[in-house]
Chains A and B, each alone.
Chain A
Amino acid sequence: MVIKSKPEACFVDNKYCPGCGHGIINRLVAEVLEEMGEEKKAIGAIAVGCASLMPDTFGIDCIQAQHGRAAAVAVGVKNCRPDNMVFSYQGDGDALAIGFSETMYAAIRNDNITVIFVNNGNFGMTGGQMAPTTLEGQRTTTSPKGRDIMATGAPLNVINLMKTLDVAYLARGSVDGNANIMKTKKYIREAFEAQKNKEGYSFVEVLSPCPTNWNKSPQDSMKHIRETVVKTYEMGVYAERRGDNA
């Protein structure tokens, strides 16, 4: 008898690089939707980038959005089908660089969708270019001497911006280690619960490793998150309004 196995939605091996955090986050989203009994009715709007590998190996209905527009597509789907769970699954290059306007305006309007935002500090699929979330001094292919914040501005902490808005749920988790994965799963669950209760916009940022483009081993990448990334992006719940159907 099987006690614990991968969710049905993760029906084949994923296509991510070894040690990529997307695999864990895909599983958490699938587990949460299955636990809530929403896996047959959920619809995902998928971003361009490494996130676009998700629909190939994910057994929950997904729409491939144009680059940066996943939040806008999710809002459209939600307006047409208000009883379905609708989420967007985006990376940092997609949600905060090209799609910053869509991401922020969905939050400003407090649209009733859930955004799963994977922050790995670079544009992974295109070869590790600098993203808005790249840390100060971090080397990427377009900042080979390290990110100079005098020239490019400081790393974008989007939760600090969204905190000032009237949104239902904001949290930042991480996939470094068992405890943080469990906490991240709880945040994703609470975000979907907020959507189910029609509270409004819910946003979960997940700090994730990109060993390929960070030029580190998977283990060192996790250590880097624990020791360095969390200093810029602190984890925790930043906004919630439970039971308030505003």
Chain B
Amino acid sequence: MKKLITNVESCKSCKYCEDNCPKDAIKVNGKINSKGYPTVVVDEEKCIVCGICYNVCPDYVFEIHECEV
């Protein structure tokens, strides 16, 4: 099963992922990271792991992993 992994320490709150997510699964209102930016939160119920967030992110926050169920 594919899973979206987020490295929130890299996040700079630009919200490109929130804008481009086709399923509205990403919100940038998570806890504040060490750089001082609110970070991304992924709703795993809605996420279809399409990888668009990976593509639009300037800060390499997202990774897609294959996980065992």
Residues of A whose CB lies within 8 Å of any CB of B are 1-6, 10, 13-14, 16-24, 27, 177-178, 181-182, 211, 217-219, 222
A2 with B63, Cβ < 8 A, contacts A13-B10, A19-B16, A178-B52 known: yes
**Nearest B residue to A25, CB-CB:** B58
Main DSSP-derived SS at the B contact region: mixed
Q: Which 10 A-B pairs have the closest CB atoms?
A: A23-B58, A18-B12, A19-B14, A6-B60, A218-B14, A5-B63, A4-B64, A1-B66, A3-B64, A178-B52
Most buried by A among B10, B12, B14, B52: B14
Residues on B with beta carbons closer than 8 Å to the beta carbon of A27: 58, 60
Contact A1 B65 (CB under 8 A): yes
Residues on A with beta carbons closer than 8 Å to the beta carbon of B19: 219, 222
Instruction: Report how far A218 CA is from B51 CA in the complex, Å.
Output: 20
Residues of B whose CB lies within 8 Å of any CB of A are 2, 9-10, 12-16, 19-20, 37, 51-52, 54-60, 63-66
Contact A6 B55 (CB under 8 A): no
19 example contacts (A-B, Cβ-Cβ < 8 A) are as follows: A2-B63, A2-B66, A3-B64, A10-B60, A13-B59, A14-B58, A14-B59, A14-B60, A23-B57, A23-B59, A23-B60, A27-B60, A178-B52, A178-B56, A181-B55, A217-B15, A218-B16, A219-B15, A222-B19
* Smallest CB separation, B41 vs chain A (Å): 17
* Smallest CB separation, B28 vs chain A (Å): 11
Contact B20 A177 (CB under 8 A): yes
Contact B58 A19 (CB under 8 A): yes
* Smallest CB separation, B49 vs chain A (Å): 9
Instruction: Report how far A6 CA is from B57 CA in the complex, Å.
Output: 10
